[in-house]
Amino acid sequence: MSDNQALLDFSKEEKIPDDLIKHAAKLRHDLQYHDQLYYDKATPEISDRDYDRLYRELVDLEKKHPLLITKNSPTQRVREKSQGFQSASHLVPMQSLDNTYSEQEVLDFIKRLHKLLPEEKISLTIEPKIDGVAIALLYRDGKLVRGMTRGDGVKGDDVTRNIEMISNIPKVLKGKVPTLLEVRGEVYLSKKMFLQLNAERDEEGLPVFANPRNAAAGSLKQLDPAIVKERHLAAIFYGYGAIEGNSISTQRAFIEALRSWGFPTHPSVDHARTAEEALAAIQRLGNVRHNYTFETDGAVLKVEELAQRKRLGSTSKAPRWAIAFKYEPEQATTRLLAITVQVGRSGVLTPVAELEPVVVAGSKVSRATLHNVEEIKRKDLRIGDEVVIEKAGEVIPAVVSVVKEKRNGSEKIFQMPGHCPVCHTAAIKKEGEVALRCINPDCPAQLRRRIEYFACRQAMDIAGLGEAVVAQLIEVGLLKSVADLYHLHAEQLLPLERMGEKSVENLIKAIDQSRHQPFWRLLVALGIPHVGVTAARTLAERFHTLEKLSAASIEELCAIEEIGEIMARSINEALRQPTMKKLLEDLQIAGVNFGEEDPVVYDVEGPLQGTIWVITGSLSQSRDEIAEHIRSAGGKVSSSISAKTTYLLAGEAAGSKLIRAQKLGVAVIDEAAFRVLIAEK
């Protein structure tokens, strides 16, 4: 007998109207559909707030009419599963939190606590709610043995290999540790990496991620651990499921213990003894949350005393001792004036919304990417519409929805052009892609993007070669390929606009110096799909020269721990393309370093061996150059402060990293002391 049929039979006894039964069934169906998009595909169609509204509506219906509850109802289970991983059981069920957007419901939550624990003093902690992927890591005698996703709360996906690729997750704990510890936290993608990842996916004609949470989920569930490493995921820990061999009694003491064991934790944990203090703490967090490197969509309130938590217990889905307060998304309404089309370095045509300027989250927005024509159709965007704007991941301006009731009939449906808007070559759609592409490799727009990428800071780092300069050089015919950069002369540049004698001299010097950049920078600059800085360094250290790398088989590439099959095939195919071969020949003739100028290996037994460095603030050299000095002396460079950090090298205007280092007791030195240390060593 189906759930719906059973409900129909019961309804005769309870007299539930048929329309309510049908509405409950639709809510279950819609929530299950959105669960699949959110958890399995990381491509949600609605916001968290809209999902929570549907969920709350179903909860209210089931409370009013308990016979509407079915065993498969989303209200009766925690859901998160994916394909391609083995499942395993949590030592203790991993529940989710009840959400609220209302301060009154926070007050109601606190009242319930006092009702359940009468005559007891109850303190609360208030922590940032990271919009990431919940994970549980199992340590035995201080050694990581398993990493899992939440799953359905009882079982989750075993993603241990991917967890091991996340640099700030400790593999071995420090100090006196519990004999058994199942620690819980959140894997996230920083706002900076989210922006970079979406830009890369746009270039490759792949669907972009809606927010950092989806990007983190999509990354953690990659079957190729090398891709996980390349995306620079990070984690923060705040709780536990099972623990043996400790006597910790409060949440704040547990956070301190986590730090002492080597775990990254929340940058701040507030404390409240009254309802008024709790609301004030939520407001304080709301005022500073945009300063974090990760996206924060709320505040988590938890009972401080662990013994009280045990007495409060849990429902079938969530603990009674915690609740998540969600902040309202920062949005604005404006007019969609036009939709233009940009051409990327790989030829992908991307529609862009041209907006009537409006301030969102503290900055003026006049443009927003629309990614592809399918997204425009799904949102039913029309030129002239009044639209709602917000910043995806608090970083990228995005069109959220259309205010359809404001339409007056003058709005125009957008048609994606069937040709490149720059070179007018016919556009095609590759199998398995949603984007249209210009297939003309000589398209000026593609050339411009390729040169800009080649010269950017993380690639060949050619100072002075910005967008305006590149566009002008292409327009006057001085650049017809990337390799033409190395044949420019001062006499050709001086007659151009905004090209004074000094700026020309500096540009020519920067281009010449780029010939001698380390080999790994050239590998980044070539724009091979999936190959970022980390993979490029690994490839350069393993093969030393382009000649040896080009001769490597897919099997040889896969044999490298950090390089998976997807990346290996991408490298192999890219280096065999005729256009790539021609570019490499031209670059070699121009004298660009193909690895022969690099030292064979870094001096890993150098004076800084065993030390981990973080660099912050303004220094006399770029951070990349400072990092090279550290690596060449055997040290390691990390992007984030943790208890494992040996030194923080702090220049002028050092910010949150300096504060974090001081809290953790990490040694802080300035550049002068760093130079002395290197010299003494």
Residues labelled as active-site residues:
129
| Cβ–Cβ < 8 Å for 360, 391 | yes
Of 436, 456, 437, 443, give the one whose Cα is nearest residue 374: 436
Residue (of 150, 241, 233, 252) closest to 192 by Cα position = 233
Please say whether the beta carbons of 300 and 309 come within 8 A: no
DSSP state of 658: H
Evaluated on CA atoms 591, 593, 598, 600, the torsion sign reads negative
Backbone angles phi, psi at 67, to 5 degrees: -70, -10
Starting at the edge strand found earlier in the chain, the sheet holding 99-100 runs 99-100, 322-326, 296-303, 124-130, 270-272
**CA 437 to each of CA 341, 347, 349, 427, 653: distance values in angstroms, whole numbers, following the listed order:** 11, 5, 6, 5, 44
**What is the spatial distance between Cα 22 and Cα 166, in angstroms, rounded to a whole number?**
46
The end-to-end CA distance of the chain, in Å, is: 77
Q: What share of the chain is helix, strand, coil (3-state, %, to 5)?
A: 40, 20, 40
Beta bridge partners of 200: none
With left for phi above 0 and alpha for psi between -120 and 50, is residue 414 left, alpha or beta?
beta
Alpha-carbon dihedral angle through residues 518, 521, 526, 528, given to the nearest 10 degrees: 120
Coil, helix or strand for 221? coil
How many Cβ atoms sit within 10 Å of the Cβ of residue 619?
Answer: 17
What the block records as the tokens of 476 is 């006057």
Pick from 452, 463, 471, 464: which is nearest to 525 by CA?
452
Mode of pairing for the β-strands spanning 143-149 and 133-140:
antiparallel
For residue 212, how many C-alpha atoms fall within 13 Å in the half-sphere facing its CB? 29
Alpha-carbon span 375 to 654, nearest angstrom: 41
| Greatest pairwise CA separation for the chain in angstroms | 93
DSSP 557-583: HHTSTT--HHHHHHHHHHTTSHHHHHH
- DSSP letter, residue 668: E
Alpha-carbon dihedral 518, 521, 525, 530, rounded to 10 degrees: 140
**Are 236 and 643 within 8 A, CB to CB?**
no
- Token digits for 57? 């509506």
Using CB atoms within 10 A of its CB, is residue 467 exposed (0-12), middle (13-18) or buried (19+)? Answer: exposed
Residue whose entry in the numeric block shows the structure tokens 């002008």: 472
What are the phi and psi torsion angles at 633 (to 5°)?
Answer: -95, 10
Picking from 92, 88, 95, 89, the residue whose alpha carbon sits closest to that of residue 241 is 92
Angle between helices 103-116 and 275-288 (to 10 degrees): 140
Helix and strand counts by DSSP (H, E) for the chain: 25, 24
